[in-house]
Amino acid sequence: MGKYTGYMICTDLDGTFTQPPRNDKEDLYISRENLDAVEYFKSEGGIFTFSTGRRPGYIKDKIFPFVTPNAPMITVNGASIYDHEKDEILKSVFLPRNALDAPFVAYEKFRDKLEEIYVIAETEEFNLQFDEENFLEKLKEIMSLHEEWYKFVFRGVDAKATLEFQKFMQEKYPECYLPRSWETGQEILAPDATKGERAIELKRMFPQVHTLICVGDHENDIPMILAADKGYAVKNAVEEVKKAADFVTVDYTEGAIAKIIAEI
């Protein structure tokens, strides 16, 4: 039994645990304060993992050189749970069939207000710019490669355009989950592909866990913050996240995860 036995922390990455690179040689930055706190938390029996919109490959390439979780990770904003120790996807939640035309609808209705799209499957992802030549032909070719897709991610030209696009797509696809993961980043996922659903499942995998702590900064983090026993918003979080949270901690640039661990 360690000091943190029974506690599980699920943290978002971008804007919560990781910071932008400080120079051209870095892909991202994680403060030494956070890294040391996480290692101490794990050494004292705590369970630490990530809950992110990123795919497993990105996390293994960019995050694991600094820190590794000691539990499976929630990836693709809740569309999957990935066990890095077994290199195995434990759970996949795919978009409903009737939402697979969303990229084509987006192009038809909003191509002047969108910059790019990411089309993400279980094993790979594709990126297209809305103004590139032969967009529709390329999109059709991509969509023919898989029958099942995790999510679509659209980048709007600005926040106003992204909110307008979100409203339209919510009305068009009411059966889907459509969070923003940053100010101009709009996603479309299956209705139960949320960080909250997966956080609850992850907690059940560890019967010794009595307190689930979830930390985030944007709309896509709200479900897990609500599902947590203790939900935290970082100071830089959008207002909707702060309202959903039980606590608001320091800014992500000020060692938010270390601060939370110190207060347990």
Clarify whether residues 117 and 181 are in a common domain. Answer: yes
pLDDT tens-place string over residues 27-51: 899 999 999 999 999 999 999 999 9
DSSP string, 131-162: TSTTHHHHHHHHHTS-S---EEEEEESSHHHH
pLDDT the model gives residue 1? 81
Domain assignment present for 2: no
- Cα 213 from chain centroid (whole Å): 16
- Looking at every residue in the chain, the average pLDDT score rounds to 96
Q: pTM of the full predicted structure?
A: 0.93
Clarify whether residues 127 and 168 are in a common domain. Answer: yes
Clarify whether residues 82 and 41 are in a common domain. Answer: yes
pLDDT of 263 strictly over 90: yes
The 8-class DSSP code of residue 96 comes to P
pLDDT the model gives residue 25? 87
Mean pLDDT of 144-171: 96
pLDDT tens-place string over residues 210-249: 999 999 999 999 999 999 999 999 999 999 999 999 999 9
Domain count, the chain: 2
pLDDT of 177 strictly over 90: yes
Place of tokens 């608001």: 248
Mean pLDDT of 148-156: 97
Clarify whether residues 73 and 130 are in a common domain. Answer: no
Clarify whether residues 244 and 207 are in a common domain. Answer: yes
Clarify whether residues 134 and 212 are in a common domain. Answer: no
pLDDT the model gives residue 226? 98
Q: 40 with 262: CB under 8 angstroms?
A: no
By residue count, the chain amounts to 264
